[in-house]
Amino acid sequence: MQTTTPARVWQPAAGWQPVSNGSTGGLQAGARVLPGVANLHSHAFQRAMAGMAERRGDSDRDSFWTWRETMYRFAGRFDPDTLHAVAAQLYAEMLEAGYTTVCEFHYLHHAPDGRSYDDPAAMSRALVQAARETGIRLTLLPVMYMAGGFDRRPLGERQRRFGHDVDGYLRLLDALRAEEGKTMRVGCALHSLRAVPPDAMSTVLAALPGDSRIHIHIAEQTGEVDECLAIRGARPVRWLLDNARVDARWTLVHATHLDDAEIAGVARSGATVAICPTTEANLGDGLFPLRDYLDAGGAWGIGSDSHISVSPVEELRWLEYGQRLATRRRNIAASAAVRSVGETLLAGVVDSAWTSSGQATGTIAAGGPGDAFSLAVDSPLLAGAGDGDVIDRWVFSGNRPLVDRVWVDGQCVVEGGRHRRGAEIAGRYGKAMSALLAG
């Protein structure tokens, strides 16, 4: 397995011109080009409920678990057409924000009553189609989901459309691998330790191709940590490190609640942690121990997860701000070697993109093509920006998206900050939302 990361160049190398799709010229004079950002964790359907779970329930005990009930109700309304429309809107928004790759953690597999569609991969194919239409690079991670808790209780009524037995799940992966191409890969997602019993996990892992990426939700909530301790006798990350060969193919999503030994263990394993700061804040999960993890040399990236925000700027900004609020200090992610917080954060996400997604994302190379975005040089927010502060200004100043053009695999998909098929995609999204909200 290739373990080197693509070289980073913050400015286009001499003579580099992105390949145009015919309707675009070259870059603005003096344009700053940054490597495309990989979004390591997405549940596309949740884009449709963003901002709709912000009203308190009957008690004053709203939590991740009460939010999950709302999410399940919404998840029950999707079919392949509405999923396609919502995913296309989301992926267009991601591209406009500077994300050029998405790792889609996909568990809405079957019809709402749990029966398979005529094509068992119909919902997955809706996501593939949305990625092709928008041009985003997709690592599709069909989710293995078998149980309703650590005690192996059966799936609840609202979870039935998520479930597979091991054979059915492996058949789904096989069917989807036929769709793989230059900008689409298939990996494996284990929903969580609570949803995948140990024997099923071992069987699935043994059946995967050697270079398959493996993503898993882990240690997002303290309740999940306590339950894992009670039933499996270890904290979730400890249990995983002791019971699976965790290496650079793995991405641990959230991993919010880690003790010191787990921090060292994850960092040593080469796995990537996918931190989702805006969703973790929205759900009241807790704060990832960023400084200790960076000191241990751990790999990490970001995900927009529930899509209450679709912006790498906001994820990176809140990753740093959360640490500042907790420690009452500043410039937490930076180090003596790299003093810029923005550069440190962007380098972190670019370095992990290949290992987590399995694709050559975020590259800017002489002669192109690449996955990259340019910043609008004429924005007042960048007035007078130099090499030393342009990334900090992108991450930490203002709220206007500064993305001008975006390329994926050399194809220009966003111009002037707008996706080239944005109007058509938004029109379809509006109709899908009407249908979903009427359901």
Contacting positions for Zn ion (CB under 5 A):
305
* DSSP string for residues in 172-239: HHHHHHTT-BTTEEE-EEE--TTTS-HHHHHHHHHHS-TT--EEEEES-SHHHHHHHHHHHSS-HHHH
**Residue 66 or 203: which CB sits closer to Zn ion?**
66
Provide, rounded to whole angstroms, the least separation between the CB of residue 271 and Zn ion: 16
**Residue 124 or 340: which CB sits closer to Zn ion?**
124
290: Cβ–Cβ under 8 A, 6 or more apart, which residues? 275, 300, 319, 322, 323, 332, 333
**Residue 71 or 391: which CB sits closer to Zn ion?**
71
Provide, rounded to whole angstroms, the least separation between the CB of residue 411 and Zn ion: 29
Active-site annotation holder among 109, 191, 257, 305: 305
DSSP-assigned letter for residue 14:
T
Provide, rounded to whole angstroms, the least separation between the CB of residue 163 and Zn ion: 17
Q: How far is CA 369 from CA 103, 224, 412, in A?
A: 21, 43, 10
Provide, rounded to whole angstroms, the least separation between the CB of residue 320 and Zn ion: 22
311: nearest Cα among 106, 138, 131, 90: 90
Task: Name 102's bridge partners.
Answer: 39, 138
Is residue 193 a contact partner of residue 145, using CB atoms and an 8 Å limit? no
* DSSP string for residues in 342-378: HHHHHHHHHHHHHHHHSS--S---TT----EEEE-TT
Provide, rounded to whole angstroms, the least separation between the CB of residue 98 and Zn ion: 21
Provide, rounded to whole angstroms, the least separation between the CB of residue 189 and Zn ion: 9
b/e for 397-435, b at 16 or more Cβ within 10 A?
beeebbbbbbbbbebbbbbebebbebeebeebbeebbee
Q: Measured at CB, which residue is nearest to Zn ion?
A: 305
Amino acid of residue 84: H
**Residue 283 or 391: which CB sits closer to Zn ion?**
283
Strand order in the sheet with 418-419: 32-35, 372-375, 403-408, 411-415, 418-419
Provide, rounded to whole angstroms, the least separation between the CB of residue 105 and Zn ion: 6
Provide, rounded to whole angstroms, the least separation between the CB of residue 184 and Zn ion: 20
**Residue 172 or 189: which CB sits closer to Zn ion?**
189
**Residue 285 or 305: which CB sits closer to Zn ion?**
305
Is residue 433 a contact partner of residue 48, using CB atoms and an 8 Å limit? yes
Q: How far is CA 237 from CA 220, 226, 253, 254, 267, in A?
A: 11, 12, 11, 11, 12
**Residue 18 or 301: which CB sits closer to Zn ion?**
301
Active site residue 305: yes
* Dihedral of alpha carbons 240, 204, 222, 45, sign: positive
Active site residue 254: yes
**Residue 89 or 192: which CB sits closer to Zn ion?**
192
Active-site annotation holder among 164, 254, 257, 419: 254
Instruction: Find the helix packing angle between 260-269 and 236-243, rounded to 10°.
Output: 40
Phi/psi of residue 280, nearest 5 degrees: -65, -35
DSSP-assigned letter for residue 305:
B
What is the gyration radius of the CA atoms in the chain, in angstroms? Answer: 21
Report the phi/psi class of residue 232: left, alpha or beta, with left for phi > 0 and alpha for psi in -120 to 50: alpha
Provide, rounded to whole angstroms, the least separation between the CB of residue 46 and Zn ion: 8
**Residue 251 or 363: which CB sits closer to Zn ion?**
251
Q: Which residues are part of the catalytic machinery? A: 254, 305
